[in-house]
Amino acid sequence: MFNLLNINLLGFAMTLQELGAFVRNRREALGLSQQRLARMAGLSHTTINLLETGKFIDLGIAEVNELLDLVGLSLNAEACQAPRANAMLMASRAASVSYRDPLTPGELLTALSTGDIPAGRDAHVATLIDEAPLSLVVSSVELVAQRSEIPPKQIWKNISAWARTCRSTRKAWV
C-alpha cells in the first residue's frame, strides 16, 4: 500500500496527494466526472474524491495502476501526450469481433461525435460498450474530441445514452 510514499511520475517524486492532483487534471481534460471515473476504475466515488483533494493517504498499487491506466498515465514516468494513435482502429475491431461486417474506425468516430449509431451497427456499439477495455474507450473519446473539437463531456453523454438504450449492465455505465 502507498502511505504517503514517494511515487516517481514524469521524472520527479511525488506524494499520493500530488498524484491525486495529477489524476484530477487528467480526468477533467478527458471530460470525466469523478463518479464516472470511479465506476470505470472499480473504485468508490469517495476514494476518487479523497485522492483528488489530497485527503486519501492509503491506496493499493493495483488500484493506482488501474486508475492511472484508465486516464492514460503510468507509474514509469510518462503521461500520454496524445491518445493512443490506433485507438479508433482497436475500438472498432473490439466492437466487431462477433460480426461479419465490421464497424469501421470512421463509422465509430462519426458515431461518437454525433451520438448517432450507423444503420445496422447497434450490436457492434453494444459490444463496444459492454466488452471493450475501458482504457480503449477513454482513448477513443480523447481522440474523437481532438479530431472533431467536440467536448469530451458531450461524447461521454453519447456513450451513456447508448448504454441506457442497449441496457448495459457494465458498472462503468450504470
| Averaged pLDDT in 10-residue chunks for the chain of 174 residues | 39 67 92 95 91 81 84 66 76 93 95 96 96 93 92 97 95 89
Q: For position 128, what pLDDT does the model report?
A: 96
Q: For position 108, what pLDDT does the model report?
A: 96
Identify whether the C-beta of residue 91 lies closer than 8 Å to the C-beta of residue 128: yes
Prediction pTM value = 0.69
Domains in the chain and their CATH numbers? Answer: 7-70 (1.10.260.40), 87-165 (no CATH)
Report CA-CA distances (Å) from 84 to 3, 9, 10, 19, 36: 31, 19, 18, 22, 21
Q: For position 80, what pLDDT does the model report?
A: 52
Q: For position 154, what pLDDT does the model report?
A: 97
Contacts of 21 (CB under 8 A, 6+ apart): 52, 54
Give 106-112 contacts, CB < 8 A, sequence gap 24+. Answer: 108/140, 109/143, 109/144, 109/147, 109/148, 111/158, 112/140, 112/141, 112/144, 112/155, 112/158, 112/159
Q: For position 62, what pLDDT does the model report?
A: 78
Identify whether the C-beta of residue 91 lies closer than 8 Å to the C-beta of residue 132: yes
Partners of 59 in beta bridges: 2
Q: For position 16, what pLDDT does the model report?
A: 74
Residue type, 142: E
